[in-house]
């Protein structure tokens, strides 16, 4: 009589089942992850821009004396060409 093959207990154990997400959760979850990442990156960039703007404002405030402003008006011909700081293309100045 042939011997029956024996299996160890470890090989007979079933692998743990991974819970499946429902159809709604499998569609919504990736969108929420992307939205969270976009919000986080946007917040970080906004924070860095705000910090740099404050630093630049302090630097320029020390340099913008009435004498420097008058020399700038003369060299850029602000009376003829207009002030370049008020140009529509100067988007960075709109935050104030």
- Listed by start position, the domains of the chain span 27-62, 64-96
Exposure string over 84-96, b if 16+ CB within 10 A, otherwise e: eeeeeeeeeeeee
Per-residue CA distances from 39 to 7, 43, 46, 55, 90 (Å): 53, 6, 10, 24, 25
pLDDT for 31: 92
Q: Per-residue pLDDT for the chain (96 aa), expressed as one digit of tens each?
A: 555 566 555 556 666 777 777 777 778 899 999 999 999 999 999 999 999 989 988 888 888 888 888 888 888 888 888 777 777 777 766 665
Q: Which of 30, 92, 84, 21 is nearest to 56 (CA)?
A: 92
Give me the pLDDT at residue 43, please.
Answer: 95
């Amino acid at each position: 009589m042939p011997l029956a093959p024996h299996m160890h207990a470890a090989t007979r154990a079933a692998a743990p089942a991974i819970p499946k997400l429902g159809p709604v959760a499998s569609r919504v979850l990736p969108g929420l992850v992307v939205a969270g990442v976009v919000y986080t990156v946007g917040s970080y960039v906004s924070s860095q821009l705000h910090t740099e703007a404050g630093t630049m404002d302090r630097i320029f405030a020390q340099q913008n004396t009435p004498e420097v402003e008058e020399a700038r008006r003369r060299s850029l011909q602000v009376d003829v060409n207009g002030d370049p700081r008020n140009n529509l293309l100067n988007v960075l100045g709109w935050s104030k």
